[in-house]
Structure 1
Amino acid sequence: MSEESSKAGPGSSVASHDVRPVSLDDVDRQILHLLQQDARMPNNALAAAVGIAPSTCLTRVRALRNAGVIRGFHAEVDPAALGRGLQAMVAVRMQSGARNRLAAFAQRLAARSEVLDLYFVAGADDFLVHVAVEDSDALREFVLEQLSAFTEVALTETSLIFEHVRTSSSRHG
């Protein structure tokens, strides 16, 4: 993840519920659609594509960032290229008495280099943790040493990711 995007957890200022109420018009929606397709699109090309002046486009993009609609720009890097070819989703269920430590637990996990994404979820589990590691030994060590070793963790369940296919809906909102 880039410096501009961070891993959100309970209490994080980046969580989606922190978006300030904003009224999006058709031009804003077009800008967002184009940036989701190519976040590196130059401002003048973006402005031309939506039919507004470059200065107006820049003002709109800044307003969308300030409102929290655009959370950041980042490069999506293949973890295998960095020597972390094994990915998994780890479901984590916390002990019922640990509810007051969820934010601290999430911050501790988000700081780990193995963690690509951290989701605080509803349902039987409390977190889904997307990790990328070198091999099965590194995955086992992460689950045992970074998750199961903590008393606030009641249960973990690990699912290996064989392949990730980015869908058009994940790129286009």
Structure 2
Amino acid sequence: MLDRIDFALLSLLRKNARLPNKELAEHAGIAPSTAFERVRRLLSTGTIQGFHAEISPAAIGIQLQAMVSVRLARHSRGQLDSFHRHLASLPEVLAFYHVAGADDFLVHVGVRDSNHLRDLALEAFTERPEVAHIETRLIFEFRRNPELPDYAGRVT
């Protein structure tokens, strides 16, 4: 279970994963050695799953983003695994979610332009035998929330 210090460290790292250990410790009100050991433990237990850079889409040529809803024709383990591997292999896929409801997947894609999006929809989705239906929604803006919800019932 996470305590208030773990939660403080996670909140600080969520907002700035490049925060130096000394500053991290200072903001959390603990010694630098304690901060270092706590972060190391959070990594080893899988609580922290990685550190990532937020990259400007335009800087890498992404001019258009969309969320593609995908409905599968069948729901066998083999088809799900195959579709997971397929999505993970596409450079245009920024993230994907296996969801419950009318659709089976939500796929966040980044492309050069509308022609690229059309070609991706045709080649990467509608031509797949396991796909029954897709629906595409353009994304006008994306922002990540740096705040963490606290549902773990941490000890204070």
Taking structure 2 as the reference length, the TM-score comes to: 0.90
CA–CA separation in structure 2 for the residues paired with 1:118 and 1:140 = 18
CA deviation string 1:31-64 (max 9, x = no partner): 0111111111001110111122212111111111
SS where residue 107 of structure 1 aligns? helix
Match of 1:106 among 76, 84, 97: 84
Q: Does 1:83 align with 2:61?
A: yes
d(CA) in 1 for partners of 2:125 and 2:7? 40
Cα deviation, 1:98-150, whole Å, max 9, x if unaligned, reads: 45321221122112110100111111111100000000111011110011101
Corresponding residue number in structure 2 for 1:54: 32
2:102 paired residue number: 124
Within a 5 Å distance, the mapping from 1:29-40 to structure 2 comes to 29-40=7-18
Indicate if the aligned counterparts of 1:98 and 1:152 stay in contact, CA closer than 8 A.
no
Instruction: Find the residue that maps to 1:48 and give its secondary structure.
Output: helix
Provide the identity percentage: 52
CA distance in 2, matches of 1:98, 1:136: 32
Q: Is the 8 A contact 1:87 1:133 kept in 2?
A: yes
Name which structure has the greater RCO, CA cutoff 8 Å, separation 6+.
2
Counterparts of 2:70 and 2:103, CA distance in 1: 6
Runs of 4+ in 1 over 4 A off after TM superposition: none
Q: How many residues align?
A: 148
Q: Which has the larger radius of gyration?
A: 2
Q: 2:143 aligns with which of 155, 160, 165?
A: 165
Aligned to 1:146: 124
The gaps in structure 2 that reach 5 residues or longer are 149-156
Q: In 2 relative to 1, CA 73–133 (structure 1 residues): closer, same or farther, beyond 3 Å?
A: same
Distance in 2 separating the partners of 1:97 and 1:47: 48
Q: Is the 8 A contact 1:94 1:155 kept in 2?
A: yes
Partner of 2:69: helix, strand, or coil? strand
RMSD: 1.2
Q: Residue type of the partner of 1:149? A: E
